[in-house]
Every structure is written in C-alpha cells, then in structure tokens.
Amino acid sequence: MMMFYCDFWSYEQVKARAKSILLSLQPAQSGSNPGGWSKLPQVHVMPVGTGPWPQDRIDLFAAWIDAGCQEGTPDYVPPTPGPLVPNFIALSKVLTGFDDLDILGNVETLAQIYIDRIVARPGKGGQLDALLAKAEAAGFDSVLNGDGTIAAAFASKAESELLKVITLVWYTATVGGDYGTPQSTQYIQGLEWRAVAAHPMGFANENVPFYWQFKPEGGLYTGLIAWNQPG
Amino acid sequence: MSSADYDVVIVGAGISGALIANELAAQGAKVLILEAGETTAVRQTFIDDFYAAAIKTPGAPYPATGDAPRPDVPLNGDWKNPAAFPNDPRYYFVQTGPDAFGSTYERVTGGTTQHWLGTALRFFPEDFKTQTKFGHGDDWPMDYADLEPWYTKAEYEIGVAGDASVDEKVGIDHSKPYPMQPVPASWSDQVIKKKLDGQTFDGKTISVDLTPQARNTDYYDKRPMCMGNTSCVPVCPIQAKYDATVHLKKAVAQPTPATIQTQSVVHRVEVDASSGEVTGVTYKKWDGSEHTVTAKRYVLAAHAIETAKILLMSPWKTDAKGNDITVANSSGLAGNRLMDHTCLVAWGLSDEPLHPYRGPLSTSGIGAFRHGEFRSEAAAFRIELGNEGWNWPTGAPDTMVGALVNGQGLFGSKLRAALHDNSVKQVRIALELEATALNASYIKPSATFKDQFGIPRPEVHYCIGDAAEPKGDYTLKGYKKAAELYPQLFEAAGITDHTCVDTKPGTPGLFTYQGVNYQYRGAGHVIGTYTMGAAPDSSVVDRNQRCWDHKNLFLVGSGVFPTTATANPTLTIAALALWAAQTIANDLKAA
C-alpha cells in the first residue's frame, strides 16, 4: 500500500514531487479554499505551520528547482539495507500477518533500522543471524502453527523472545520502551494502526471531510488512505 | 505612573493573556507579555516529539526540562517523591496531600491550550448560584446573563463549532448561534446514541448530544478545518483546534504591537506598602539576570497554580497582629480551595463495531447529570464519549498488541485479526465530576524544594474529599452515583464493562469511599486558587477580576472560579478574560 504522502525529510521524495510542491505553495485568495491556505483545494498541508509561505521563500524554492534540485547535507542518513534484510522481511511477513509491511515505500530501509535496533539490545547481538538462517532453512511459514502460535521447533526461550521482539517492532515501532525514531517515520508506519483500521493518532491521511462519521468500508474512512489515491 | 514602561504587563502567554493582550493592543495600549517558557513557533518539532514519545501524555510534545519546568501526569508508584525532580517532570509538584493531583499544564507560548481537548461548553445558569439553590459552594458574583455576551464574544474569537439548540433545550440561552456548524458525531457516538437516547436512568432522560468545540469545521480565522487526526490532546498537527498562539500572533500584528518576551520567569509582584498599588513585577531571565518592569495595570495570567504561587511569594505588609501578609491575600484565600474536575474513566467492549481511533478525541457527551435538584446532595457530572478506544486508560493499541503477543502468544494473521476484532469494539467514557472547595486542598510555594533559579516549586496539598468539612464528601457522593450509573448505561448500550481499578497502594487517584475503591484521573481543569466573590473578606478578586487589595492588579484564568461546575473551563476562562480586558481598557481611558 502506498499512501499519497510526501516525506519532507526525504530528499528523493521532495525532488520527485518538487513541481507539485511548488504549485501547492501558491497561496489561496483569501477564503477561497475551505481546506487551508493553499490554492489547491485537495492539498492537506501537515503541519499547517504559520500559514502561507512568504513570496521570497516560494521564489527561493523555485530557484532551487531551476538549479536542478541540488542535494545538501542531510541531518539524518538512513542505514543502507544489509544482507539480513531479505530474510528479515520474509520472516516478518509471516509473524505480522502483513504482506505489505510499510506505507512509505521504504521497507528495506525500515527493516534495516529495525534489525539495528534489535541487534543493539544488550547481550542479544548474534542471535538474529542464527534465527533467520534457521527459519529460511525450515521455510518461513513453518515458524508458526496454524493457530498463530510459535511452532515447537522455534519455541526455545531465546528464539520465542526474539520472534516477539520482531513482531512488536513492526506493530508498535517499539523495542521495549524505546521508540527509537529517526524522523518519526517508524511510529506512523506501525502495523497496529492498519490492523485496527484506523490511522496513527496524530497522522490522518483521509481527505474526506468529517470522515469519522462514517462506518469504514472498503478501506475508506479509516484516516489511512486518501480517497482519490490507489489503495 | 506616567513613567511606567508599559500600559499593561501580562504574566503568562496562555489563552487569558493572549486574549487580553490582543484586545488592549487593538485599542492602542502598549502591552508586554512575559512568558516563563519558550516560544512554540515550530509545530513540526512538537509533532515529531509526540510521535517519538513512548508514553503519549498531554505534555509529551512539549519541553520537559529547561528553565520553566512544569508537571507531567503522575504515574504509578511514588508520586510523592519530590527529590526525583529535575530528572523527571512527573515530580515537579511537591505533593504533600492525601490524594494525588493528576492534572498538568504547559509553560510555553500558547500555554495549556497547546494540549487542551478543545471542548468549549458554557455553564448552566444554576452553576453560578449553587449556594443559593443547592447549599453547596459559593455563589459567583454574577449571573449567567451577565456572562452571556462574553461567552458569545469568546465563541467568535476562538472559533467554536456547535449547535446552540443543544444548550437551549436545557435552559442555556445563546444570543447568537455558534460561528461554525457542529463537528459531526463519530460513528461510535451515533451507534451509542441510537441505543441510549430517550431512556431514563436515575430519574434523568438521556440524550447523547454534540459537543461544542473550538475546532474548525470551516476555513475560519485563517485556519483549516479539522481533518480528524485524533491527537487533539496533546497536539493538533494542523491547528484546526484553537490554541492561544492564534491571539498572540494577532496581538503582535496590531498597529500598536504587543511585545511577547519569553524565557522570563516572574516570581514576585512589587507593591507599595502604604498605597497598596502594584509598582512592578520582577522576573528572572533564563540567563539568570533579574529585572523589574513597570506598568499602569498588571495582569497575572500564569495558570491557577503558578499565579497563586507568585502571589504567595510576594511580600506585602504586616497586619496589626504582626502577621506577614502576601500580595492580594488579606482574605487568606490565595492558593486555597484548589480544585480539579476529576474523571471516573470507564471502558468496555461494544457488541458491534464502533470503529474508534478516528476523528477528534471526543465529539459527543451526555449532559443530563450536569444539572438538577440532586446537586443539593451529590456532585454533578458530565459524561464525555471518547473516540480513541482504550488509548487513554490503558495505552491501547500498543498495550493490546503486547497482551496478544506476550500474553497469548499470538502471531501472524491470527494476531492481526484478534487485534482488529477487539480494537474496533472498544469504547471509553469519562464521567467528569464537579469538585468541592476544601480547606484541606491548597497550593503554596515549597519551603524546601526549588527550581533551577531557586524559585520555590509548587507544593500541592490535594484532597478530593474531607469528611471533616461541611459538604466535604460532596464529590465522593458524586463518584458513588456515577459508578452506579455507568454500568447501567453500558448495559443499555450493549457494552461489556472492562473497567478496572488499580488497587495497588500508591496508585495515583485511588481512594476508598464507603468500602468501595475508586480511581480518578485529572482532567487538567485546575480551579479555585484565587477565587472571585462579592466581598473582600471572602474572595481575592471582584467580578471584574480586579484584586480587592490592589486596584491596578488583575488575576485571570480558572483560579478565579468559585466553583467548578461541570463544564470544561476554557470557554469560561476566555469569556472572563475578555470581560477583564474591557475593564482594564476602561481604566486606561479614564486615567
């Protein structure tokens, strides 16, 4: 699932949508757009910030596009997906019940972030490699019984603890009490929200006005998906 | 006075300070706002901090450290441990009372409207005269009709969406409709309304009604309409919910712009001992330097706890008996009668999907128990319907995932289905209780514990009920009534009760009344610490919120409320602030 969402922390995403962003920065005539200060009625700007951009800022953004969208030095560089990622994703799909683990199109990066966080737990360094290798050899589906519990072959204390940690990080973006959130994008991708059929609290993407008065149907009115975007 | 630095100095950049500053600046007055905390210009920072917070308390997005410390929600355990501060803001309050004070506030520009829910209820006419009508509490020195024009002005200033007919059918008249159409009821509200409306409980006929909210349902005042982000508390990502930075921006854009000076912690009001005139307010900047600023009129708008603390830290005079009297306190009431709307929070599972976690955190409520003759015996209460599942009381959905994975050992599609099936049926209500003014409930500057500047931290001695005082068990009787009522409502609405009272000793809000355990949570409605009244010996300010003791000093905010009633206080705070602004403007014109 890909939401209509632009991560403004992401150079690639901003570059790809630069012209759309420039268009949406054009201010509305006073009161002409009931949705906000942009002249494009469908633009749901989050956060609203302090209102319309001043013209000199818009001109600066336009000049940046004209100059070829030069990349600066980012504050945060996400990790490069490493060799564990494919097996980690395959196992995670089984454990979570989700075939589509991300909503921002960054599943490999997100997987590496979670691997790093899981491995960084004190005294837990080498266990993940062994578990992933064992699950691959046995077949990832064989990790669970049909009733959703852990199969006997993976039910050792250390393995089941690790399977829980992997599941919980995808669902809640937490490892223990640690949200470990470079640029907050982990929280909003927590699978729990999609399981609940609702958006992450503080991040609704629905652009049907007053969507909450409707019973969700067909994936709409959950706050998860803009109605005019592919689900 | 002609040499004063400003016409008006306002202490605190919350809703009262912002509204007064804007009104006065619009009339050409030279206004300074001193704010203890930091500016809140970059909303994205708060949103990022909220997303990143493991426990999403009302204070989660806002700075917890720095030089303007503030409390956070007390969690289980040793909430009376003041030594844990400054590492843990949950212990900023020095709690010495028998009961935990569960409410918090923010010290940033915009004040606590940064994290408020946005509920903008008016009081009932009877709320202003509870002593006369019910023999409980003090009457306000005003009637509903006196405040009504200010309620209306406040609703248009902050932008309230609502249906005035909901009020009018129970005797709360409106001279004008709300400026915006009401926020629609959530699906959950609609299902519950169908099951409950028209039924009678405890002599009252139930109607589930839309809540008036300072939340846009239209493009209003250059802010967008609500998009249902479901995080009103602690932060609206798009400012569809009103917060006081709206009026701070207006105040600094007036032809005579107001000045907002942040990182300036006021700790003393200076008074001429002979004339009783306030001659300045003294503050510490975050760099440690101390300054005094002068004005023709002074307004303390620093929150019910910090304002009372400033008064009690400000020496004034010695009375005939040799007692030291602090500023504005010849009545002895400053800091006393600390009150809060405490909430009995109840939660359960519906017999059909309600689809919570969508829309504003609350869109409907039940007002039947806010008014009526029973108030001569027991506290009134409002019932708020939540739209956020069990998130408030249990921390769901995180905790539900944890219970399914760690507790039941569920994974994969079975986990996903189990989480879905439970969560879509969750519902939460809060029964928000009227409080009673008790002598045993007060705040004062701590003699022992100080903040970074050596300014005393608030010692909070909170008591929810005291059998030794007249009507001292009024709120407790209300809890008994509320706890007997809500299971009947749940049953009629097809909701299975899952409420649990944490009876572990030390749990904040745990109390026992007539052998039954109850647990309350703070509503963030801090009330009553510099009460208004009709006479100087029984109140701190008059109905214009002018100190009886100092004619050029005004105290505003919910600290002036003589009683709590059952309405969330912010609309009444705003109405009273606008009233005070007019009084101050008239003063300045007359001078």
DSSP for A64-99 reads HHHTT------S--PPPP-TTHHHHHHHHHHHHS-S
pLDDT above 90: residue B222: no
User: Could you tell me whether strands B426-433 and B6-11 are parallel, antiparallel, or unpaired per DSSP bridges?
Assistant: unpaired
C-alpha distance across the termini of chain B, in Å: 10
Q: In the prediction, which pLDDT does B87 show?
A: 65
Confidence band for A230, pLDDT divided at 50, 70 and 90? very low
Average pLDDT over residues B312-341: 96
Calculate how close chain B gets to A129, using CA atoms only, in Å: 20
Q: In the prediction, which pLDDT does B42 show?
A: 62
Average pLDDT over residues B72-89: 74
Least confident of A95-99, B245-249, B503-507: B503-507
Average pLDDT over residues A4-8: 62
**Quick one: tokens of A209?**
């006005």
pLDDT above 70: residue A48: no
Q: In the prediction, which pLDDT does B566 show?
A: 98
Cβ A150 vs Cβ A163: under 8 Å = yes
Confidence band for A68, pLDDT divided at 50, 70 and 90? very high
pLDDT digits (tens, 9 = 90+) for A122-145: 877 678 999 999 999 999 999 999
Average pLDDT over residues B458-467: 94
Average pLDDT over residues B141-166: 98
Chain B environment of A7 (Cβ under 8 Å): none
Helix (H, G, I), strand (E, B) or coil at A115: helix
Average pLDDT over residues B366-391: 98
Confidence band for A1, pLDDT divided at 50, 70 and 90? very low
Average pLDDT over residues B374-400: 97
Q: In the prediction, which pLDDT does A191 show?
A: 96
Q: Quote the crossing angle between the two packed helices A107-119 and A85-96, to the nearest 10°.
A: 90
Confidence band for A150, pLDDT divided at 50, 70 and 90? very high
From the centroid of its chain, how far is CA A19?
Answer: 23
> Percent of chain A scored above 90 by pLDDT?
51
DSSP for B321-389 reads TS-EEETT-TTS-TTBS-EEEEEEEEEEEESS----S-SSS--EEE-GGGSSGGGGTS--EEEEEPSST
pLDDT digits (tens, 9 = 90+) for B225-268: 999 999 999 999 889 999 999 999 999 999 999 999 999 999 99
Strands (E), B35-130: 94-95
Chain B environment of A163 (Cβ under 8 Å): 411
pLDDT above 50: residue A3: no
Cβ B205 vs Cβ A231: under 8 Å = no
Nearest-CB residue to B419 (from A45, A177, A196): A196
From the centroid of its chain, how far is CA B318?
Answer: 34
User: What residues 32-71 of chain B have any CB closer than 8 A to a CB of chain A?
Assistant: 41, 43-44, 47-48, 50-54, 56
Domain boundaries, chain B: 6-590
C-alpha distance across the termini of chain A, in Å: 6
Q: Hey, what amino acid is at A93?
A: K
Which CATH code is given to the segment(s) B6-590? Answer: 3.50.50.60
Alpha carbons B569 and A127: distance in angstroms, whole number: 55
Nearest-CB residue to B238 (from A48, A174, A222): A48
| DSSP for residue B121 | P
Q: How many residues does chain A have?
A: 231
Phi, psi (deg, nearest 5) at residue A119? -70, -30
pTM: 0.92
B contact test, residue of A75, A196, A217, A227 with most B CBs within 10 A: A196
Nearest-CB residue to A172 (from B218, B398, B410): B398
Global ipTM: 0.94
Subunit contact A215:B415, Cβ cutoff 8 A? no
For residue A21, the tally of other CB atoms under 10 A from its CB is 17
Q: In the prediction, which pLDDT does A155 show?
A: 96
pLDDT, chain B, mean? 94
Q: How many A×B Cβ pairs under 8 Å?
A: 205
Positive or negative, the CA dihedral B75, B76, B82, B88 is negative
Least confident of A65-74, B97-106, B366-375, B376-385: A65-74
Least confident of A164-168, A204-208, B519-523, B554-558: A204-208
pLDDT digits (tens, 9 = 90+) for B540-559: 999 999 999 999 999 999 99
Q: In the prediction, which pLDDT does A194 show?
A: 95
Nearest-CB residue to A187 (from B51, B229, B397): B51
Closest residue of chain B to A221, computed from CA coordinates = B358
pLDDT above 50: residue B181: yes
Alpha carbons B325 and B38: distance in angstroms, whole number: 32
pLDDT above 80: residue B146: yes
Nearest-CB residue to B225 (from A34, A183, A193): A34
User: What residues 355-414 of chain B have any CB closer than 8 A to a CB of chain A?
Assistant: 355-360, 363, 387-389, 391, 397-398, 400-402, 405-406, 409-414
Asked if B252 has any chain A CB less than 8 Å from its own CB, the reply is no
pLDDT above 80: residue B177: yes
pLDDT above 90: residue B101: yes
Calculate how close chain B gets to A93, using CA atoms only, in Å: 8
pLDDT above 70: residue B64: no
Q: Quote the crossing angle between the two packed helices A157-172 and A85-96, to the nearest 10°.
A: 80
User: Cα-atom radius of gyration of chain A, to the nearest Å?
Assistant: 21
Least confident of A79-93, B213-227, B254-268, B371-385: B213-227
Chain B environment of A206 (Cβ under 8 Å): 227-228
**Quick one: tokens of A227?**
């109605």
pLDDT above 50: residue A231: no
Calculate how close chain B gets to A190, using CA atoms only, in Å: 10
Calculate how close chain B gets to A126, using CA atoms only, in Å: 22
Alpha carbons B237 and B313: distance in angstroms, whole number: 38
> Percent of chain B scored above 90 by pLDDT?
86
Q: In the prediction, which pLDDT does A45 show?
A: 54
pLDDT digits (tens, 9 = 90+) for B332-375: 999 999 999 999 999 999 999 999 999 999 999 999 999 999 99
Subunit contact B411:A163, Cβ cutoff 8 A? yes
Domain boundaries, chain A: 11-66, 85-188, 197-231
pLDDT digits (tens, 9 = 90+) for B428-448: 999 999 999 999 999 999 999
Calculate how close chain A gets to B466, using CA atoms only, in Å: 39
Average pLDDT over residues B581-587: 98
Subunit contact B387:A50, Cβ cutoff 8 A? no
Alpha carbons B294 and B233: distance in angstroms, whole number: 36
A contact test, residue of B75, B217, B229 with most A CBs within 10 A: B229
Chain A environment of B186 (Cβ under 8 Å): 212-213
- What is the signed CA dihedral for B374, B375, B379, B383, rounded to 10 degrees? 70
Cβ B307 vs Cβ B513: under 8 Å = no
CB contact set of B147 (below 8 Å; sequence gap of 6+):
B123, B128, B572, B575, B576, B579
pLDDT, chain A, mean? 84
Nearest-CB residue to A46 (from B238, B359, B397): B238
Subunit contact A199:B389, Cβ cutoff 8 A? no
